[in-house]
Amino acid sequence: MTPMFSHIPADQRPTLEIFVDGQSVQARRGDTVAAALLASGLDVRRDSAVSGVPRLPYCMMGVCFECLVTINGVGNRQGCLIPVEPGMQVEIQRGKRELGK
């Protein structure tokens, strides 16, 4: 299946590796975590903390909180506001944040 989002061919930024639920993903330097997830081609839908329904990043500018994700062991981070870094461990959040995360 063709991913809904992909990097444009003219994008010459260097790639870097992040991990999504342990799986290696090639992101571009300067991507936000949310952009990298959308371009990954993986199923990156989280479950809403309120109703459990699947959600994806939406506003991409820090307002809607639909991109909440666990980054390097810290839950409820706004993926659209955080640039990717090499080796970053991203976990898709299932429902509410956990107390220790």
Partner 1 sequence: MSRVHDVAVVGGGLLGAAIAWGLARLGQKVIVLDEGDVARRASRANFALVWVQGKGLGLPPYARWSVEASRQWPTLAEALREQTGLDVHYQRPGGFHICLSEAELDARRQLIEQMYAQGAPNDYGLEMVDRSELEKALPEIGPDVVGASYSPHDGHVNSLRTFRAFHAGLRDFGADYRASHDVDRIEPQPGGGFVLHTSGGRIEAAKVVLAAGNGNERLAPQVGLFAPMMPTRGQIIVTERVKPFLHYPLGTLRQTDEGTVMIGDSKEEILDDRETRVPVTTVMADRARRTFPLLNRLNVVRTWSGIRVMTRDGFPIYDQSASAPGAFVACCHSGVTLASMHALELAPRIRDGGLGGPPSSFSARRFADAPETLLNADAAV
- How many Cβ atoms from other residues are within 10 Å of residue 11's Cβ? 12
Q: How far is the CB of 40 from partner 1 (least distance, A)?
A: 26
| 99 sits near partner 1 (criterion: CB under 8 A) | yes
| 96 sits near partner 1 (criterion: CB under 8 A) | yes
- Contacts (CB under 8 A) with partner 1, residues 39-78: 49-50, 74, 76
Do the Cβ atoms of 38 and 57 come closer than 8 Å? yes
| 98 sits near partner 1 (criterion: CB under 8 A) | yes
Task: Find the helix or strand (DSSP H, E) in which 55 lies.
Answer: strand 54-55
Quick check: helix, strand or coil at residue 51?
Answer: coil
Strands 15-20 and 23-28: antiparallel
Q: How far is the CB of 80 from partner 1 (least distance, A)?
A: 16
| 9 sits near partner 1 (criterion: CB under 8 A) | no
Residue ranges in contact with partner 1 by CB under 8 A: 49-50, 74, 76, 95-101
